[in-house]
Chains A and B, each alone.
Chain A
Amino acid sequence: MAPPALDSLPAPLRSLRLKTKQQELLLRVSALALIYVLAFAVRLFSVLRYESMIHEFDPYFNYRTTLFLTENGFSEFWNWFDSESWYPLGRVVGGTLFPGLMVTAALLHRLLHALSLAVHIREVCVLTAPFFAANTTLVAYAFGREIWDSGAGLVAAALIAIVPGYISRSVAGSYDNEGVAIFALLLTFYLFVRAVNTGSLAWALASAFGYFYMVSAWGGYVFIINLIPLYVLVLLVTGRYSQRLYVAYNCMYVLGMLLAMQIRFVGFQHVQSGEHMAAMGVFFLLQVFFFLDWVQYLLNDARLFKSFLRITLTCVITVGALALGIGTASGYISPWTGRFYSLLDPTYAKDHIPIIASVSEHQPTAWSSFMFDFHILLFLFPAGLYFCFKRLSDATIFIVMYGLTSMYFAGVMVRLILVAAPAVCLISAIAASATIKNLTTLIRTKSRSPQTTSGKTTGSKAAAKGAVDQSLPFQHNAAIALLLGAFYLLSRYAIHCTWVTSEAYSSPSIVLAARGHNGGRVIFDDYREAYYWLRQNTPPDAKIMSWWDYGYQITAMGNRTVIVDNNTWNNTHIATVGRAMSSYEDEAYEIMQSLDVNYVLVVFGGVTGYSSDDINKFLWMVRIGGGVFPVIKEPDYLVNGEYRIDKGAAPKMLNCLMYKLCYYRFGELTTEYGKPPGYDRVRGVEIGNKDIKLEYLEEAFTTSNWIVRIYKVKPPKNRS
């Protein structure tokens, strides 16, 4: 290992050199190990505060499918037709999901059982995201070392371990695709950059497998398949084309594409969909480039080559344009999807796809959430970009492009802050590491300067630094001050991240916690109460109608069939439910009969002041319902463009099914002292219709805090 130059040094010095090197290695490894543990441990707040449980909405579907996978095996899972969701349509689960997460968890489960550790699959699922987040720190370290140096790698690992933008999606219990996908994303990028740097086929192959894992885990792989060609294009344009790049990209693209086709949900999209065409175009472009390079090498005649270049380029562009045109016109190449459009144009979804716009995590990001999720990284990011531009290389160009594009996407959609987080951490790490390194070298050269002058020859660099020292009088003190400032900022960052994790991102949202008047913690466990009631006390084939938000939870926890769920693949079906909710009871009854509905579930926060309830979501139901069925018109539910539920509300609003189900017998209940009965604590008004009679439905169950109300649809009357 030791470089041969060392042998020329005297023996005691050599052993000392080796020792410091070992010390450095030891420090690095232990720092990394601590970061690894930290990344895992910081995500356990939710388990300590609440319990080991699955959070939110989508993770419940993932959990349910993982359970199915572990119980029935992979082949059953792959061919699973789920009749419990989207009644009466059903869902081909195997062909409509990214199986990466479930397979990962199932494999971990099997591995642990093979080591005779009898853990339940739920614990594996709960801890999958923290585990992969911890692994991400290792990848970040390697990536940082690849693009800058090992110091930057360490800082990057530390930053990414606690960055709130990433923690928000990877706390224990947040068993979602993103949990493993960020790991896969960063791994693919790292391996690709490594392949470009080394030109080695092995690394390119590894990156293709990283890409395959990413494709199997998350739809966000589209970002990779567009960013990498863009990067290749930029390298071509800036004259940084090399054999290494050619090997890396071709191997990664061809193999990655072939592997990705094995995922049923993705299928032939790599050759058929508009979103993947850029990668293919760049692939062909690279071949042409290589060909031209070769011809130029053979020709040795500049003029001849120029005309040849012109002809070839014209041909290639014509052929490419023709192919794309014909492909698009014949429908072989599908146009861009709405989701993709809404990424490029933030206003697109609002006008065209209400179902995307209705989800809060698809909203454009506010400045405050940037600050909340990145904290000082927001300032370090530009500084890091400066350092990257100062030491431009293939790797830094990549990270700059990754940072800039993902920052743009993060601005378009709140949830994409997640994708930007690794890039921001890496670039900020370069800034932090480079600054601290510079400052410490300043301090060290100053303090060592007597030694340096006393005879040791350390080269001209130190001498030059010494010269600089003399020109700036307070440099030493300033460096110390700046260093202290940097450490202060970094410690603030750590404090902020811990605080955000503990306060904002560790709530399971199934169990709600509030402070009681005596300061104690009050737990509202109404969701599980209702779902468990459904599971135990309704017929096993009962069909539950609710707004789509609760679909996954009802199937996973209630084990009952739902009409619509969070996999919003059929807009018409959702619109039908929206229509039923916003119609009068008798009209709604007909719709419910046609859908074979037995129970209707609504979420109502008027008693507890829980604001994300169905009354607040109601306008989206009207909009989505009205988007398909023009009978439903939004103005009917508004009074002068204002959404009200009190006495001044629109008559249609006061008598629609959703209003009736939420406020049934609510008018008799006093919710707050000193307020009239029927006082809605979310909207802060007294409700407008207190005398609600239900004709076709009856109250079947209401949870202890009234958050979930379940109604039974009466069977049709006998014809007499």
Chain B
Amino acid sequence: MMDHRDVMLPLSLRTLATRTLLLLVIASAVSCSSLPPEDGIRVVSAEKRIDLTGPIVKVFLTLKVENAPTASEASRVLLAFTPTEVQHLSIVKATRAEGKRKKKAFVPLSIEPSELATTAPDAPRLYSVLLSTPLKPGDATTLEVLYMLTHSLEPFPAEISQSESQLVYYRDSAVLLSPYHVLEQVTYIKMPSNRIESFTRVDPTTRAGSEVKYGTYNNQMPNSYLPILVHYENNRPFAVVEELVRKVEISHWGNIQITEQYKLKRHVLNHKGVFSRLEYQSRPSVSGASSFKNLLVRLPPRVHSVYYRDEIGNISSSHLRTNSHKSELEIEPRYPLFGGWHCTFTIGYGLPLQDFVFESVDGRRYINLTFGCPLLDTVVDDLTVKVVLPEGSKNPQPVVPFVTEKHLETSYSYLDVVGRTTVVLKKKNVVGEHNVPFQVYYEFNPIFMLAEPLMLISAVLLFFVAFIAYLHMDLSIRKSS
């Protein structure tokens, strides 16, 4: 029964995906006229480079856009994504090339989801890139866009045995999905190895080694979509942290304690049949090519009291290397992770307070930490960062360079009376690019540092006083002779 279901699931998923794509094509054909770009922007030339070498899909777009001479000034440029892409979209960045030739500089631009055209369920979702200086009629500019997709590689066959290597599908469109008219466009797909099982041909299509080139296509209508499918080998470990909770506890006595709870999964594909330790040990290179053993955690320098454990105890297989620039913790799960195997663990470490907590100009304090997951090369589906401020802190204010879900809660720990204010930040689809500093500002009066020691002192004092009082009191009802 179980096996049956395991096989069924990817199949149905696949049909669902194809159906979505079909619908999308139809929808785009229908809705192309209903989505008129309000200004006369068109894409003069577009280059799309898709990097499929890792578990995360990275797409680099170079768009040369031009404003029609007759139109008004354009303050934004729209990007289109399919609904599936939006679900897996982890990061979008855009820069604009300014200046000519040698003085060329790339200015980062902000991006926000656009409310346009989200009525139809299968219609493309639009993101608008806000231009720093509006594009005058008749002018052209070049935009560089980078976006990353997680969970976009589908293993096929869905189950492999220990010694087989892992093959995956990647789906996209040969032409650029765009609400604008595209005059000229190429797509390059870069794969990790020469082993490409198959790829859809949409002429002109050429393959050179591990790269497939689609195009050049000319004069594409807005919202055109030509589905392609690439089937290739990708043995990079697909480590996915399904859930990560990072808890940062600040103590103004000089320590920051960080506890990270990981729920790790070797993603998507399932391990078929038996796991043979003999083969795993005797032929480590062949067998278990797609399993993984080691994970590297990059920690800040001067880290101390590092531990690595799970629900049932300490895990002894880890190594810590520290130097003055960084600390690296190499951890090994209890067992090698094959497809679909789970593993949860907790890493904890302490950091010196003065490296991360500072006083700002206005007298407030702030902690400055890295946001993302310290594991290298992993995707975090669900990241929660909890910053536990010391007891007595007021007015916490997080500053994060991207959109996160925020709320406040109260947590209790040793000797807490009123509880500690905790700032909770949540984000989905986190990748390495999210490892950027963020700050939490708060007000803290150092007198609160003395609260707990004073409490202990008075408790001990009370105990002794009570004892002395007891010794000096005669509680008997009748005086004994």
Instruction: Give residues in A with beta carbon < 8 Å to B.
Output: 50-51, 53, 116-118, 510-511, 523, 525, 528-529, 531-533, 535-537, 539, 557, 665, 668-669, 698-704, 706, 712, 715
Q: Which 10 A-B pairs have the closest CB atoms?
A: A702-B277, A536-B342, A51-B314, A529-B334, A699-B274, A557-B312, A698-B274, A53-B313, A665-B278, A523-B316
B344 touches A536 (CB 8 A): yes
Contact with A along B396-433 (1 / 0, CB 8 A): 00000000000000001111110000000000000000
The residues in B between 9 and 30 inclusive whose CB is less than 8 angstroms from any CB of A are none
Say yes or no for B470: interface residue by CB 8 A criterion: no
Question: Considering the chains assembled together, what is the distance between the CA atoms of A715 and B5 in angstroms?
Answer: 14
Q: Which residues of B contact A701 (CB under 8 A)?
A: 275, 277, 335
With A117-B414, A529-B334, A665-B276 already in contact, the answer to whether A539 and B2 are too (CB < 8 A) is: yes
Q: Which residues of A contact B275 (CB under 8 A)?
A: 699-702
Question: Considering the chains assembled together, what is the distance between the CA atoms of A531 and B313 in angstroms?
Answer: 11
Question: Considering the chains assembled together, what is the distance between the CA atoms of A674 and B415 in angstroms?
Answer: 61
The residues in B between 342 and 379 inclusive whose CB is less than 8 angstroms from any CB of A are 342-344
CB distance from A498 to the nearest CB of B (A): 25
With A53-B314, A536-B344 already in contact, the answer to whether A528 and B334 are too (CB < 8 A) is: yes
Q: Which residues of B contact A53 (CB under 8 A)?
A: 313-314
Among B2, B273, B343, B415, point to the contact of A536 (Cβ < 8 A).
B343
Question: Considering the chains assembled together, what is the distance between the CA atoms of A706 and B341 in angstroms?
Answer: 19
A532 touches B314 (CB 8 A): no
- Known contacts A50-B314, A53-B313, A706-B277; 17 additional CB pairs below 8 A are A51-B314, A116-B417, A118-B413, A510-B313, A528-B313, A532-B312, A532-B334, A532-B343, A533-B334, A536-B341, A536-B342, A539-B2, A699-B275, A699-B277, A700-B274, A701-B277, A702-B278
A116 touches B414 (CB 8 A): yes
B415 touches A117 (CB 8 A): yes
CB distance from A670 to the nearest CB of B (A): 9
The residues in B between 271 and 302 inclusive whose CB is less than 8 angstroms from any CB of A are 273-278, 282
B277 touches A118 (CB 8 A): no
B417 touches A525 (CB 8 A): no
Question: Considering the chains assembled together, what is the distance between the CA atoms of A703 and B275 in angstroms?
Answer: 10
Say yes or no for B144: interface residue by CB 8 A criterion: no
A to B CB contacts below 8 Å, 30 in the list: A50-B314, A51-B313, A53-B313, A116-B417, A117-B414, A511-B313, A525-B315, A528-B334, A529-B334, A532-B310, A532-B312, A532-B334, A533-B334, A533-B341, A535-B311, A535-B312, A536-B341, A536-B342, A536-B343, A537-B342, A539-B2, A665-B278, A698-B273, A698-B274, A699-B274, A699-B276, A700-B274, A701-B277, A703-B335, A715-B1
Give the interface size bracket for B toward A. Answer: 20 to 34
CB distance from B387 to the nearest CB of A (A): 18
A531 touches B412 (CB 8 A): no
> Which residue in chain A gives the minimum CB-CB distance to B264?
A536
Question: Considering the chains assembled together, what is the distance between the CA atoms of A50 and B334 in angstroms?
Answer: 17
Q: Which residues of B contact A535 (CB under 8 A)?
A: 311-312
With A116-B416, A533-B335 already in contact, the answer to whether A702 and B312 are too (CB < 8 A) is: no
Question: Considering the chains assembled together, what is the distance between the CA atoms of A301 and B314 in angstroms?
Answer: 79
CB distance from A122 to the nearest CB of B (A): 9
> Which residue in chain B gives the minimum CB-CB distance to A553?
B312
The winner among B313, B342, B415 for most chain A CB atoms within 10 A is B313
The residues in B between 296 and 352 inclusive whose CB is less than 8 angstroms from any CB of A are 310-317, 334-335, 340-344
CB distance from B427 to the nearest CB of A (A): 25
Question: Considering the chains assembled together, what is the distance between the CA atoms of A706 and B281 in angstroms?
Answer: 11
Among B274, B316, B335, B417, point to the contact of A532 (Cβ < 8 A).
B335
Question: Considering the chains assembled together, what is the distance between the CA atoms of A51 and B317 in angstroms?
Answer: 14
Question: Considering the chains assembled together, what is the distance between the CA atoms of A51 and B343 in angstroms?
Answer: 21
Q: Which residues of A contact B413 (CB under 8 A)?
A: 118
